[in-house]
Amino acid sequence: MLPSTSRRYAEKSLRSRLVRAGAASFFALAPAIAFVGASQGGVASASSSKLDNDHDGIANKVDPDVDGDGIRNGSDSDVDGDRIPNVNDHDVDGDGDLNGSKNEKDIDGDGSPDTSDNDMDGDSSANGSDRDVDGDGLSNSQDSDVDGDGVRNGRDSDVDGDHRSNGLDDDVDGDGQTNGRDSDVDGDALPNGASNEKDIDGDGIRDGIDSDADGDGSSNGNDSDVDGDGSSNGSDNDVDGDELSNGAVAEKDIDGDGILDAVDTDADGDGRSNSVDDDIDGDGKSNSSDDDVDGDGKSNSTDDDSNGDGIDDHGGASGKSGKNRG
């Protein structure tokens, strides 16, 4: 059937229905008229009708009361009135942009941009305690962009959108596991201590110079698992997770405590002072078979304190500094 014939047929059918139903029925059938017009190239469409749920002439995207129930979006448990509570709705404000999608900047339509909204998906759970912050249907632990701000977790300075920078957040990725128990602190899908994970806690300070690499609240010098990879320092061949193996020539601070190995009395941070440690630099080689026992970059033959115990091999103090590991 030709488009013009189809249009005439639809309009004729509609007129007949209006005559039978009476003038009062016109308003009930108005959406059908709009649909017919749109299907033939008119200005209205089924989708645009959906984008103004309460038919007040204000598009859902900018309507402070999307469903017209008298409750403003910020206080409405079902913003778009689709009978799906916000907590289960993948398009909370019914604007056609899914929660957490690139174009969705105000998920719950409350007028506060998601980047400054403490409950961006309007489910009554604050972002920091919400296990699906952006309401996209992916739990935070499975979401590559937890807060839906378009910045992937590994590059985001506030991964879970709780308005606490990662460096001050005890659960950086908002997965319900505190950093000290989380195998992927910043939720970037790179496990803590992995060779290509350069900033475990996502605080913007690379692991080699971060005083608390895994963001667990314990400074590296007092942390039994500095890089949070699940291997205690005494069993870890890269204690501080900086991609430089313990004992490597370029590794000058094995445990990342800010004390250079050359003056550190517990170089590998395993809780045993160098004087009683059978593998001082934690390189997996016993001191007796290691040509640089304390991992300070000097061969034993040229090191005045080859075992890093703070005592000069030739007698007297070496000037090496101690530390307190609580």
Answer whether residue 315 shows pLDDT above 80: no
User: Distance between CA 193 and CA 241 in Å, rounded?
Assistant: 5
pLDDT tens, 144-183?
999 999 999 999 999 999 999 999 999 999 999 999 999 9
Query: In a 3-state reduction of DSSP, which class is residue 248?
Result: coil
Query: In a 3-state reduction of DSSP, which class is residue 229?
Result: coil
- 308 found inside a domain: yes
CA distances from 146 to 65, 97, 149, 162, 293 (A): 27, 17, 8, 11, 45
- 57 found inside a domain: no
pLDDT tens, 93-132?
999 999 999 999 999 999 999 999 999 999 999 999 999 9
- 247 found inside a domain: yes
- 294 found inside a domain: yes
Establish how many alpha carbons lie within 13 A of residue 220's alpha carbon, considering only the half-sphere containing its beta carbon. Answer: 29
Q: State mean pLDDT over 30-50.
A: 40
| Residues, the chain | 326
Residue ranges making up the domain that contains 43? 1-50
- Which one, of 111, 120, 116, lies nearest residue 146 by Cα? 120
- 150 found inside a domain: no
Burial of 82 (0-12, 13-18, 19+ CB in 10 A): middle
Boundary of a domain, candidates 33, 50, 67: 50
Q: State mean pLDDT over 220-245.
A: 95
Question: So what's the pLDDT on residue 305?
Answer: 82
Q: Which helix (H) or strand (E) holds 19?
A: helix 3-21
Query: What is the number of structural domains in the chain?
Result: 2
- 67 found inside a domain: no
Question: So what's the pLDDT on residue 308?
Answer: 73
- 125 found inside a domain: no
- 106 found inside a domain: no
Q: Mean of the per-residue pLDDT values for the chain?
A: 85
Cβ atoms of 107 and 135 within 8 Å: the answer is yes
Answer whether residue 4 shows pLDDT above 60: no
